[in-house]
Chains A and B, each alone.
Chain A
């Protein structure tokens, strides 16, 4: 037994007839930070979806938060998902809910008291610079603002594993810096983080181990 939060052993993923991922083996310890790099179509999003339990591996062994996902009954997965935060590339905010209610979703699912929700969500939205936009609906927000709401929703529940798919795609430099600051802080507090990105500048500015994919295969995984 190791303390790895994420452990893949020769994982493969087929979507329909297409072999999207092949022979992926890697391990990320608690509090570890990994860039997930590779050209468009390399399989970054697919790998994140595996780690978010949206898909199950077609082959190999996937272990998340100490649990063998392949062997876990379906009923055990929601409990795991609640400990995983995900920033989707396309945000996936619910259009009929305000920014506040979108960010509050994970807390409400967890049955947190409303008083705590009010305080936590307010604080989190203020932190991502949306204090004045709390009651706006996604349609009233810019791409960058929506992305920040999506980030807030992913981290509001202090997840053990945080996955982010191109989370700086719509952010300006300052906002991207703030995001990296937040991620660094979470990582220090013990959250394991995987960030898929194209943004070479930000990778250069925040050197960290990287998982590199090309055509569904691992090019290298830094230790």
Chain B
């Protein structure tokens, strides 16, 4: 019987809370200085975080493309591929492919089709421009182990098909990978920095709110409010404001990132797998952007909780 009564009373209290949430503002927080400052600052941080996130994701995608292809890859260009080779009855392309296949230190040899080459060149030359051109054949080669003896192989290929170019990616692939990693590390560092600044902003805003509402907080403390009661009110507000700020920052960042992606798409797509950049933003970035307002909200909540509890702890 008593249990039921107590339960009914608790349910009524819950209902009342929903009906009239006015005293969620007993402390007068709605009038606080945080209202304008906090969402704006957190929004700015969310905007920067979006950019950093995009940078990290782009750099990761970029370096992945180059790591797949790798340090031990060659590109061989054979001009005038259909002409007859000098040292065999085959045409020049077939002869080069045969020599490459026979060479030690080579895992795979693949002559790119005309369509593949056209696709590679399309961003620079347009879709129809390759029609009338006398394009060289391109052979993609994957090395294994220590790779082929480059100088000998080149000489051999040139003897069979003069004018053939052997391009070893190794060196600059490593440089691009290093660059991509630096950009990535920078982006993560920036994310960490931006998170720290956002936490500092919430701390400052919460402390300003505590100072501004000092008398009210002390009174409510004296009436028997627990630290948790008081912290919850500040944290609820910081959570809402930080979430709104995060949402705003992301909303502003979105068109900016879409614009950057549109600019970068041909370049990145031209180098390799264009699917990663289509339709406009990578999927990882969408998830990341969706997470930013939530992270802002969580940061607002946790920071306000910690700040308020630390402020209250010296009270008896």
Contact = CB atoms under 8 A, between A and B. Distances in A.
Interface of A: 52-56, 74-75, 77-84, 86, 92, 94, 96-97, 101, 104-106, 108-115, 117
Contacts of A53: 316
Nearest to B313: A74
B224 A74 contact: no
Taking residues whose C-beta sits less than 8 angstroms from the other chain, chain B's interface range is: 20 to 34
23 contacts: A54-B316, A55-B316, A78-B225, A78-B229, A81-B222, A81-B224, A82-B223, A86-B222, A94-B216, A94-B219, A96-B28, A105-B223, A109-B220, A109-B224, A109-B225, A110-B224, A111-B10, A112-B13, A114-B13, A114-B16, A114-B17, A115-B16, A117-B16
A96 B31 contact: yes
B43 to A, nearest CB: 27
A86 B224 CA distance: 11
Interface stretch (B18-26, B124-132, B196-204, B242-250): B18-26
Nearest to A114: B16
B273 interface: no
Given A81-B223, A97-B26, 6 more contacts: A55-B316, A78-B229, A92-B215, A92-B219, A94-B26, A114-B20
A46 B221 CA distance: 18
Contact of A106 (B12, B221, B223): B223
Contacts of B31: 96
B147 to A, nearest CB: 69
A160 B224 CA distance: 14
Contact of B224 (A79, A94, A114, A115): A79
A15 B154 CA distance: 91
A105 B26 CA distance: 8
Contacts of B316: 53-56, 74, 77
B223 A109 contact: yes
A113 B226 contact: no
B9 interface: yes
A105 B19 CA distance: 17
Contacts, number: 72
Given A81-B223, A106-B224, A101 B23 contact: yes
Interface of B: 9-10, 12-13, 15-17, 19-20, 22-23, 26, 28, 31, 215-216, 219-226, 229, 316
B13 to A, nearest CB: 5
A180 to B, nearest CB: 24
Contacts of B223: 81-82, 105-106, 109
A52 B221 CA distance: 11
B12 A115 contact: yes
Contacts of A52: 222
A90 to B, nearest CB: 10
Contacts of A56: 316
Nearest to B12: A113
Nearest to A111: B13
A79 B31 CA distance: 29
A74 B228 CA distance: 13
B23 A104 contact: yes
A105 B220 contact: yes
Contacts of B28: 94, 96-97
A92 B9 CA distance: 30
Contact of B19 (A74, A94, A109, A114): A114
Nearest to A56: B316
B36 to A, nearest CB: 18
A219 to B, nearest CB: 27
Contacts of A114: 12-13, 16-17, 19-20
A84 B221 CA distance: 12
Contacts of A112: 13
B237 to A, nearest CB: 15
A108 B225 CA distance: 10
Contacts of A105: 23, 26, 219-220, 223
Contacts of A84: 224
Contacts of A81: 222-224
Q: Sorted from nearest, which 5 A-B pairs have the closest CB atoms?
A: A114-B16, A82-B224, A81-B224, A113-B12, A96-B28
B16 A101 contact: no
A104 B23 CA distance: 9
Contacts of A80: 224
Given A56-B316, A77-B316, A113 B222 contact: no
Nearest to B10: A111
Contacts of A92: 215, 219
Nearest to B226: A78
Nearest to A77: B316
B222 A54 contact: yes
Contacts of A115: 12, 16
Given A78-B224, A79-B224, A109 B229 contact: yes
Nearest to A81: B224
Nearest to B27: A94
A42 to B, nearest CB: 22
